[in-house]
Amino acid sequence: MRIAITSSGTDLDAPFDPRFGRAAYFIIFDEETETWQFHANPAVEAPGGAGVQAAQFVANQGATVVISGDFGPNAYRALSAAGLAMYVAPRGEPPSVRQLLHQYRAGTLQSVAGPTSRGHHGLTAGTR
Amino acid sequence: MRIAVASGKGGTGKTTIATGLALALEDRPVLFLDCDVEAPNAHLILRPELIWRQQVDRPVPVVNQTRCTGCGHCAEICRYHAIAVMSGKVLVFPELCHGCGSCVANCPEAALSEYGRPLGVLEAGSTKTGITFARGVLEIGELSASPIIRQLKKWAVRTELFPHALSPEAVEIRDAPPGTSCPVVETLRGADFALLVSEPTPFGLHDLRLIVELVHEMNLPAGVIINRDMANDGALERFCVEANLPVLMRIPLERDIGQALAAGQPLTAVRPAYGMALRNLFEHIQLLEARGIRT
Ligand code: SF4
Ligand code: SF4
């Protein structure tokens, strides 16, 4: 099973990134081989639709679990259509990617049953 | 003559001025456009009878599941990420779609086609005093107001709706949405003059600066009405002098004016003297426009 975690850096000890569509990196952890790879988020500078683009990217990487801090409505819709399980990190001081992985395996992370924010509609405030 | 009434934000009395001006110019053919399509309210003051109605759609792709192979090409091609292909299934995000048609044109299986998704309606009619009134109303949940404003401007100037559209005496008054974003740009585009409504407060000055910047960029002649005028530090006026913006009119802050306006009465009914003032203002605007004065 492959787990995607939004990260602000490129290794397991980097603090995770609470944003999904605008996360700096995705760390894709492969549970079978205990290996991981990081990928720059292609959606980080998308003028709009970052949530959808990021969801597409994560799904294309073969992840079946996504851990982040926040899933907007578009990201949620795309990820759930692909059958990916979504989990959110606890609020507060951002844990490292490694800590989140442990929490996920210990079963203490909260799963998500709907969008966790209203989303940003991919638009900068005031441009519509 | 097309006058757009704008302000950097809402609540400055923009609609009061726009409707007041329309009523004051009763001896001319007037077309009033409520371009605040997200929250139209000028009809509450002008009370037109709306007899024309037209639905506006925008094209959004729809997938034919039996033809689609889930190749993912459409998702790759969409610049706006309005389409995703997840586990072989196409998902369209209509709010993000710009209707560019690229996905439809490039699907190798011809599995995509377009349907018209309701964007809003255009409505028009006339008031008792003979003002032609038109407005756009954006569908709830739709995010982009500019296309409907663009359509409103085109739709309302047809002679069936506004018989005097081609008369040199005709005046078109556009009540702009608040702010300085795309819908405001769309409202100002094609106007001959921008009438900016502000108030003598630090916030008023801040918002005026923003709209003046926009008006400069668009190379539109402009003037200012100071609404709710009261004793103040003079910063707003200094700014107007520096920016070479004529102050065309002042409306003092008076409690009973505010109350009557809040109750939906037009400015010209609350204080008939403003009818004359607004006619003078219009003449002033004509002079400024004729001289092509750019601020
Ligand atoms: S490009 Fe056409 S065939 Fe390919 S996934 Fe999109 S709709 Fe389906
Ligand atoms: S019409 Fe254009 S914007 Fe809309 S989904 Fe297709 S490619 Fe994307």
pLDDT above 80: residue A122: no
User: What CATH number corresponds to the domain at position B96?
Assistant: 3.30.70.20
Contact status, residue A76 vs residue A6, Cβ threshold 8 Å: no
pLDDT digits (tens, 9 = 90+) for A106-116: 999 999 988 88
Report the pLDDT value the prediction gives residue B202, as an integer from 0 to 100. Answer: 87
> What's the B73 CA to ligand 1 centre distance in angstroms?
6
Last residue in a domain, options B71, B99, B117? B117
Interface pTM (ipTM) of the complex?
0.81
pLDDT digits (tens, 9 = 90+) for B2-60: 999 999 777 778 999 999 999 999 889 999 999 999 999 999 999 999 999 999 999 99
C-alpha distances out from residue A48 to A22, A128, B78, B83, Å: 10, 12, 11, 12
Q: Which of B102, B106, B113, B119 to mutate to test the pocket of ligand 2 (most atoms within 8 A of CB)?
A: B102
Subunit contact B84:A43, Cβ cutoff 8 A:
no
**Together in a domain, B112 and B141:** no
pLDDT above 80: residue A121: no
**Together in a domain, B268 and B281:** yes
**Together in a domain, B86 and B173:** no
Last residue in a domain, options B78, B100, B117? B117
pLDDT digits (tens, 9 = 90+) for A8-61: 999 999 999 999 999 999 999 999 999 999 999 999 888 889 999 999 999 999
Report the pLDDT value the prediction gives residue A123, as an integer from 0 to 100. Answer: 41
**Together in a domain, B166 and B283:** yes
Subunit contact A83:B87, Cβ cutoff 8 A:
yes
Measure the CA–CA gap between B103 and B108, rounded to whole angstroms. 10
**Together in a domain, B179 and B225:** yes
**Together in a domain, B191 and B254:** yes
- Residues in chain B, how many? 295
**Together in a domain, B93 and B64:** yes
pLDDT above 90: residue B136: yes
Report the pLDDT value the prediction gives residue B288, as an integer from 0 to 100. Answer: 87
Stretch B211-224: mean pLDDT? 93
**HEC assignment per residue over chain B:** CEEEEECCCCCCCHHHHHHHHHHHCCCCCEEEEECCCCCCCCHHHHCCEEEEEEEEEEEEEEECCCCCCCCCHHHHHCCCCCEEEECCEEEECCCCCCCCCHHHHHCCCCCEEEEEEEEEEEEEEECCCCCEEEEEEECCCCCCCHHHHHHHHHHHCCCCCCCCCCCCCCEEEEECCCCCCHHHHHHHCCCCEEEEEECCCHHHHHHHHHHHHHHHHCCCCEEEEEEEECCCCCHHHHHHHHCCCCEEEEEECCHHHHHHHHCCCCHHHHCCHHHHHHHHHHHHHHHHHHCCCCC
pLDDT above 70: residue B294: no
B144 lines ligand 2 (CB under 6 A): no
- Judging contacts by C-beta atoms under 8 Å, the chain A residues touching residue B149 are none
> What's the B111 CA to ligand 1 centre distance in angstroms?
6
Of A48, A82, A83, the CB nearest to B81: A48
pLDDT above 90: residue A88: yes
Measure the CA–CA gap between A116 and A74, rounded to whole angstroms. 11
**Together in a domain, B192 and B279:** yes
Report the pLDDT value the prediction gives residue B292, as an integer from 0 to 100. Answer: 65
Stretch B170-198: mean pLDDT? 94
Number of structural domains, chain B?
Answer: 2
Structural domain containing residue B79: 59-117
pLDDT digits (tens, 9 = 90+) for B244-259: 999 999 988 887 787 8
Stretch B94-121: mean pLDDT? 93
Place of tokens 């001025």: B17
Nearest residue of chain A to residue B84 (CA atoms): A56
Task: Report the mean per-residue pLDDT for chain B.
Answer: 91
C-alpha distances out from residue B58 to B79, B142, B156, Å: 17, 11, 19
Measure the CA–CA gap between B27 and B198, rounded to whole angstroms. 27
Report the pLDDT value the prediction gives residue B271, as an integer from 0 to 100. Answer: 86
Question: What kind of architecture, by CATH, is found in domain A2-111?
Answer: 2-Layer Sandwich (3.30)
Task: Report the mean per-residue pLDDT for chain A.
Answer: 89
The residue ranking higher by pLDDT, B158 or A125, is B158
pLDDT above 70: residue A126: no
User: What CATH number corresponds to the domain at position B163?
Assistant: 3.40.50.300
Q: Which two tokens stand for residue B45?
A: 């003051």
Subunit contact B143:A121, Cβ cutoff 8 A:
yes
Banded model confidence at residue A128, pLDDT cuts 50, 70, 90? very low
Measure the CA–CA gap between B274 and B22, rounded to whole angstroms. 12
pTM score, whole prediction:
0.77
